[in-house]
Chain A
C-alpha cells in the first residue's frame, strides 16, 4: 500500500507542477487542482497508513486504531482548496472576459509604456 500511496502523490505532484508552469489559465487551474489532490493524499498518509481500523480508541481492549486527526485536516484542506479553486475559476473567467486573453503572464512592457488609466 505504501508504494501505491507514495507513487500516486508523486505522479499527481509531478503532473500538477508541470501544469502550473503552463502559460494559460486553464492548465494552471487543473495543475493546482492536481496539486491539492496530491497534498490531500499526502496529509492522509501523515498519520501512518493503516487500513480497516477504526479511527477512535476502542473501549474493548487495546485495539489499534488509525489516527483521526489527519482525516480532519484533510477534510479542512479539501473544503478550502475546493473554495479556492472555485474563486480562481471565476476570477480567471473574469480576467479572460475583460482582456480577451487567457494568458497567465501580464502584458509585455511596451503596452505599459502607453498612458493608461487602468489604475482606477
Chain B
C-alpha cells in the first residue's frame, strides 16, 4: 500500500491548523510555511502522477479495512492528473497572493487556502461517494472563507448567495446519497458500480432518481445551465487570486461527473441507460451560449472573465456529455487548459485593477506598464477564446473532432464555434477599451482639487508578474507538448472507461467471484 496517496490530503490538513493557531500573528512565517507546503504538494503530485503512469489503479485502504466496508482512496491516472493540476494551480495562485499582498488583507488566508487544497485533493482521490460529499464540504467551507476574504459590501452579499446556493446543493447531495444507499446498500463507488449492474430494470426508478440528483449537484458545482447563476456573481466579487483558484472548483464538478457517471451510472448500465448524456448535452450547449452572451454583454472586466469561464465549462461539458474515450480525452485536455487560462485571466485582471480606478470597460488614463498588461491580457484572452497558438485552440479542435456523431455534430460544432467567435469579439472589445483607447487619454494631474496628493501607482515587480507568466507558460507548454500530453490523456481516458479494472483493483479478488 502506497502511503503517499494520502499525503496530498494529510499535509495541508496538518499545515492549516498549524498556520491558524501557531503562526496567526506572524505573516512571514505563515507565508513561508504555506509556500513550502504548496511546493511539497506539487512534488508529491508529480511523484503520484509518475506512479500512476504504470497504468495500475492503486488503492489506499484507510485503517486497512477491506474495500466495501472502509473508506478507500484510489489513485489512477485521472485522479493523479487532477491532483497535479490542483497543486500547480495552487502554487501559482499562492505566489500571486503573497506577491500582491492579498493574503494580508484579511485574516487566516493561508490556513483557509491549505484547507481548500486539502478538500480539492481529497475529492479527487476518494473512492467512496459519501467521503466525496465530506470532501466537497471541506473545500466549500474553506471557499466560503476565501470568497469573503478582505470583506466589502458586494463581496459579502455575493458570499451569502454563494453559501446559500451550495448549502442547498449539499442537501440535494445527501438526498441523492440516501436514495442510493437505500436502493443498493453501499456507498463505495466501485461496489456501487457492481451493484447497479444487477439492479433489475423494474426497480430502476429510485436509482435513476439518485443518478439525476447527483448529477444536479455536480452540475451545480460545474455551473451548468440552469444552475449557473451563482458563478458570475461569485467569481466577479471574489478576491482575484481566489477567483483564480476557484477555476479548479468548477472542475471538481466536471471530475465528479466523469468519475461517477462513467463508472457507476454509465451508459451500459441497464438501470440508468443514457440518462446522464441526455440531459448533460443540451445543458452544456445552453451554458456555452450564456457564457458567450455574458462575455459580449459584460460591462466590467471581472464579470466578463467570469462569463468566459462559464462558457469554457460549457465547452468542457459538451465533450464530457458524450461519455466516449475520445471525447473524454478532449475534455481532459480542455479541462487542464481552461483551468490555467481562467486563472491567468483573473491574475492579469488583478494586476491591472489594483492600478486602475475601476473595472468598468471604459477608457481611462493608461496605467503604468500599460503595454505589459495589454500583452498579458492579450495572451490570456487568446488562450481562453481558443485561438492558436495557445492550447485552447487544440483543446477545442480535439473536442470538435471527437463530436462527429450526426445527432450531436450540428449543435456542438455550432455552439462551440459561434461561442468562440462571440467570445473573441467580447475580449477584443474589452481589450481595446481597457488598453488601447486608454492610451489616447492624457494622464490627469497628479493632484486632484480638494483630494490631496494622489498616491503614485506602483509598477508591478517581476515577483508579481511571475505567477501570471507561469500560468501562460503552462498554456504554451500544453500546446508545444500536445503530443505527449494527449498520449497520457488517451491512456487516462482509457483507464476511466476500464470499469472492470477499477472495480477489480478496489474490491480485490471479490470482483472475480461475483458475476
Contacts and interface: CB of A to CB of B under 8 A. Distances in A.
Interface of A: 16, 20, 25, 28, 32, 35-36, 38-39, 42-43, 45-48, 69-70, 73, 76-77, 80-81, 83-85, 87-88, 91-92, 94-95, 98-99, 104-107, 112-113, 115-120
Contact of B160 (A46, A70, A83, A91): A91
A94 B152 contact: no
Contact of B159 (A36, A95, A115): A95
Contacts of A113: 299, 360
Interface in B135-186: 137, 140-141, 144-145, 148, 150-161, 163-164, 167-168, 170-171, 174-175, 177-179, 181-182
B482 interface: no
Nearest to B150: A120
11 contacts: A80-B134, A84-B163, A87-B163, A95-B156, A107-B157, A115-B357, A116-B358, A118-B152, A118-B155, A119-B353, A120-B354
Interface of B: 105, 130, 134, 137, 140-141, 144-145, 148, 150-161, 163-164, 167-168, 170-171, 174-175, 177-179, 181-182, 187, 233, 236-237, 240, 299-300, 302, 353-354, 357-360
A47 B182 CA distance: 6
A76 B137 CA distance: 11
B445 to A, nearest CB: 19
B313 to A, nearest CB: 21
Given A43-B174, A84-B141, A119 B160 contact: no
B168 A98 contact: no
Contacts of A42: 174-175, 178
Contacts of A120: 105, 150, 152, 354
A70 B182 CA distance: 9
B299 A39 contact: no
Query: Main SS of the interface on chain A?
Result: helix
Contact of A98 (B137, B153, B179): B153
Nearest to A70: B181
Contacts of A95: 153, 156-157, 159-160
Contacts of B168: 20, 32, 35
A36 B137 CA distance: 14
Given A39-B174, A45-B182, A112-B300, 15 more contacts: A20-B168, A35-B168, A46-B178, A80-B137, A84-B137, A84-B163, A91-B163, A98-B152, A104-B161, A104-B164, A106-B161, A116-B154, A117-B357, A119-B237, A119-B358
Contact of B181 (A35, A46, A85, A105): A46
A104 B170 contact: no
B153 A115 contact: no
A35 B263 CA distance: 30
B353 A20 contact: no
Contacts of B154: 106-107, 116, 118
B163 A112 contact: no
Contact of B178 (A39, A107, A112, A118): A39
B177 A43 contact: yes
A98 B156 contact: yes
A48 B178 CA distance: 11
A30 B240 CA distance: 32
Given A92-B160, A106-B154, A46 B182 contact: yes
A92 B159 CA distance: 8
A120 B233 CA distance: 15
B155 A39 contact: no
Query: Main SS of the interface on chain B?
Result: helix
A91 B159 contact: yes
A20 B150 CA distance: 27
A94 to B, nearest CB: 5
B157 A106 contact: yes
A93 B118 CA distance: 28
Contacts of B182: 45-48
A69 B187 CA distance: 10
A117 B151 contact: no
A76 B171 contact: no
B179 A46 contact: yes
A78 B187 CA distance: 18
B171 A36 contact: yes
Given A32-B167, A98-B153, A118-B152, A47 B174 contact: no
A73 B144 contact: no
Contact of A43 (B153, B178, B233): B178
Contacts of A25: 160
B181 A28 contact: no
A83 B170 CA distance: 13
A73 B483 CA distance: 45
A95 B163 CA distance: 12
A99 B148 CA distance: 14
Contacts of B353: 119
A117 B163 contact: no
Contacts of A81: 167, 170-171
Nearest to A99: B153
Contacts of B171: 16, 32, 35-36, 38-39, 81
B179 A88 contact: no
Contacts of A36: 167, 171
